[in-house]
Amino acid sequence: MTGSVVAVSSNGEYSFTKPNREGIRLLEGLGVEGDVHAGVTVKHRSRVRQDPSQPNLRQVHLMHAELFEELAEAGFTVGPGQLGENVTTRGVDLLGLPVGALLHLGDGAVVEVTGLRNPCAQIDGFRPGLLKQVVGRDDSGAVVRKAGIMGVVRSGGVVRPGDGITVTLPPEPHQPLERV
C-alpha cells in the first residue's frame, strides 16, 4: 500500500486547528517537534486530567484527504490541518490499517499506528453539525470513527507535502483499530 503526504501541520499552542507548514520534523518517541502534543506521556488535556503519567499513544495525528471530499459532499468545507491533524495523506486507507502498522514517511520517518482518533464536541465548535459526519454508527450499531488515526514516532525524520508513504503491516493476526 502506498500513498502520499498532502500537507503537514503543527501548533505549539493548544488550538483546535493546526497551521500548515513547509515541513515538520518527527522526533523518535516524542512526536512532532514544537507541537503541543509531543511528549512521552499524554498531552491531550482531557487525558492529562485523568492520568498525566499514561503513555502518549497520540504523538502524531494522521488524516486522509479523502475525508475532506466526503465532508464537502455533505456541505462542509474542511482543509488540511483544520481538524487538528499533523499529517494529511492521500491514497492510504488509514482507517483500515491494523494496530502496529508502520507508516514510512519522508526521509526515513516511521510512525507506528496505535489507534483511532476519538472525535470530540470541539469539532462542532469548528463547524456546527460536523461531529455527526465524522462519528456515527454502522448498521449493527457499532461506533464508526472517521476523524483519522493516531501513532507514535518509531524513527524520526522530516516530512513534507509530496513525500511518499509506504505501509508495512504487522504479522497476523491483525488487531483492528480502536480509539486511543
Q: For the segment 70-109, what is each residue's pLDDT rounded down to a tens digit? A: 999 999 999 999 999 999 999 999 999 999 999 999 889 9
Rounded to two decimals, the pTM is 0.96
Give CA separation, 44 vs 78, 88, 117, in Å: 22, 20, 12
* Residue 176 φ/ψ, nearest 5 degrees: -65, 155
Domains of the chain, first to last: 2-168 (2.40.33.20)
Q: For the segment 136-178, what is each residue's pLDDT rounded down to a tens digit? A: 999 999 999 999 999 999 999 999 999 999 999 999 999 999 9
Q: What's the CA gap between 51 and 2, in Å, rounded?
A: 36
> 21: which strand partners?
8
